[in-house]
Chains A and B, each alone.
Chain A
């Protein structure tokens, strides 16, 4: 995402020295995530939306809900698709053009966390079996970059989905017809929350900021659901974790995720 420069090398030395003393560059505890501010319904033309800031990383997510054709093998289920894009205004090194592998990974990991938690009950999103279903598209755009886009996109998408209202369509004359004024909440099963941890030297920190992100050796993103179960995980970066570290990261993701889940819940209920 951000490029690696000589400055990053110098910062890494400083970050590592601080971590040896149990401190972080911005004064946070090792297992403390940055403040999340959530603005719900930032885009009124979308069916649901959220603009969130995780420290200085900012993501806008808009949800569009519209009739679509089901996949051939799942005619009894609606669609859920989540994307993520890095806009050129988010960082000087971001260029226009087709998405690079890190952004493709970002979009897929964000999608997987929400999909695998079964947050949205897609079985309730069928207009006419095998012919027409409701498609839910959550599109994230990163507008400001300061590390940890995985969690920022996950929170933005989750908050936007929690606040989404779906229109109703009736099946008339072999086509879906919009039923005016009949909006309902999206059917929600659970609230997934992803927590990304970075390994720098032998230290593991929650929610790395931009400098920490550029300095890390490896990372792991773990998504948990409302029941405290783990539903998705992605390891990245060019180093590894020990078995003990991975187990501990699982525990941390449940603990930290629970606090953020409350924030997401509170923010989305504020508008109802």
Chain B
């Protein structure tokens, strides 16, 4: 995606990052519940410069039929990037990266959704990355949780997600694209704050055992911030004045 700029200062002497944030400060996050007419539930998120739309359908009949399960409903997730979402045009066919991310997001949402209440059905989550700027999987998971709630699907909790990471030997919250490219570590975390469960966790980059512990802790705290915004988005739609 972005090229490396060797001269870029990731963290200055005052502890300010390349985009002006403090080390524990997330980017600007705006979440909107609903917005799509045809989807059963939907959400839109702007997470820094990421712009992501999520639509949810279901529980509905499973097609192809052999995928259905008589004991439980199934969750299907497609994470997809638009060709225009990144610097150089992305081939619209699903890449291996997108297939892997679809799978980890699916597995992050499964503990939250009460699929056992809907045997033989499917819940489909379609994630469309309109613009990408580092941390899309976390933003997408956050928005997908809101869209599932908006669809009225019974859930144990919502999954909130954000990345922790390391730049200039310092543990930071919410890794942006530059920090992901030039930084030392990136650890996306998805967390259910009420259930106290980590459901998405990945890491690339080298961390000492102490930094590893710190990263998970910082990430979990960050998820709690995101969680408040998820609840606010649902509140605004269903109990606010500006609801649509």
Contact = CB atoms under 8 A, between A and B. Distances in A.
Contacts of A102: 103
B205 A104 contact: no
Contacts of B206: 116-118, 225, 229-231
Nearest to B107: A238
A243 B216 contact: yes
A105 B100 contact: yes
Contacts of A15: none
B198 interface: yes
Contact of A104 (B100, B195, B198): B100
B220 A116 contact: no
Interface string B85-118: 0000000000011011011100100110000000
A237 B97 CA distance: 18
Interface in A228-262: 228-243, 246-247, 250-251, 254
Contacts of A117: 206
Interface centre among B97, B104, B200, B202 (most CB of A within 10 A): B202
A246 B100 contact: no
Nearest to B192: A240
Interface string B33-63: 0000000000000000000000000000000
Contact of B195 (A230, A240, A254): A240
A237 B197 contact: no
A15 B148 CA distance: 34
Nearest to B217: A243
Nearest to B157: A240
Given A229-B208, A247-B216, A250-B209, A241 B107 contact: no
B196 interface: yes
Interface residues of A, number: 36
Interface centre among A105, A225, A239, A243 (most CB of B within 10 A): A243
A112 B195 CA distance: 30
Contact of B198 (A105, A116, A230, A246): A246
A236 B104 CA distance: 7
Contact of B103 (A101, A230, A251): A101
Contacts of B216: 243, 246-247
A34 interface: no
A254 B206 CA distance: 13
Interface string B179-201: 00000000100001001111111
> Chain A binding site: helix, strand, loop or mixed by DSSP?
mixed
A234 B107 CA distance: 12
A220 B201 contact: yes
A241 B198 contact: yes
> Chain B binding site: helix, strand, loop or mixed by DSSP?
mixed
Nearest to A115: B204
B99 A104 contact: yes
B217 A101 contact: no
A204 B57 CA distance: 35
Contacts of A241: 197-198, 201
Contacts of B217: 243
Interface in A56-110: 73, 101-102, 104-105, 107-108
Contacts of A116: 203-206
B213 interface: yes
Given A101-B102, A243-B217, A233 B201 contact: yes
B207 interface: yes
A101 B209 contact: no
B179 to A, nearest CB: 16
Interface in B109-132: 110-111
B64 interface: no
Given A230-B209, A240-B192, A243-B216, A112 B201 contact: no
A199 to B, nearest CB: 11
B202 A234 contact: yes
Contacts of B208: 228-230
Contact of A228 (B111, B200, B203, B209): B209
A250 B187 CA distance: 14
Nearest to A101: B103
A57 to B, nearest CB: 21
A80 to B, nearest CB: 14
Going nearest first, the 7 A-B pairs with the smallest beta carbon separation are A240-B197, A233-B203, A238-B110, A235-B201, A240-B199, A116-B204, A231-B206
Given A231-B205, A246-B201, 11 more contacts: A73-B4, A101-B99, A102-B103, A108-B97, A118-B206, A230-B212, A231-B204, A236-B107, A246-B216, A250-B212, A250-B213
18 contacts: A101-B102, A105-B100, A105-B104, A116-B206, A228-B208, A228-B209, A230-B206, A230-B209, A230-B212, A232-B205, A234-B201, A235-B198, A235-B199, A239-B197, A240-B192, A242-B197, A243-B220, A251-B209
